[in-house]
């Protein structure tokens, strides 16, 4: 389902408000944590999972450590 979401200023940040029916269908409530992942096509919001967050942190560290090798492999 595609829905338009309006961004609003929330203190020093910008927040997005999900329509109630979408939040209900996804079992999301105020205060729940989600991960925002930048993709080629935009922003993906996905349920918070400590395992996924830890894996992403490790992947970022490894990509930084081995960036030259990864550049060569990408050719």
pLDDT tens, position by position, 30-53: 999 998 889 999 999 888 888 988
Residue 1 covered by a domain:
no
Tally of structural domains, the chain: 1
Residue 16 covered by a domain:
yes
CB atoms closer than 10 angstroms to residue 35 = 13
Residues spanned by the domain of 58: 7-74
Name which of 72, 57, 27 is nearest 18 in CA terms.
Answer: 27
Q: Give pLDDT, residue 68.
A: 93
Question: Which ranges constitute the DSSP H helices of the chain?
Answer: 20-25, 50-65, 67-74
Residue 65's pLDDT band (cuts 50, 70, 90) = very high
Q: Give pLDDT, residue 1.
A: 78
Residue 26 covered by a domain:
yes
In the chain, % of residues over pLDDT 70:
100
């Amino acid at each position: 389902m595609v829905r338009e979401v309006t961004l609003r200023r929330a203190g020093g940040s910008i927040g997005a408000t999900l329509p109630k029916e979408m939040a209900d269908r996804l079992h999301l409530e105020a205060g729940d944590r989600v991960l925002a992942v930048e993709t080629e096509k935009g922003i993906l919001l996905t349920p918070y999972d400590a395992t996924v967050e830890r894996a992403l942190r490790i992947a970022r560290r490894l990509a930084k450590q081995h960036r030259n090798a990864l550049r060569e492999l990408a050719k």
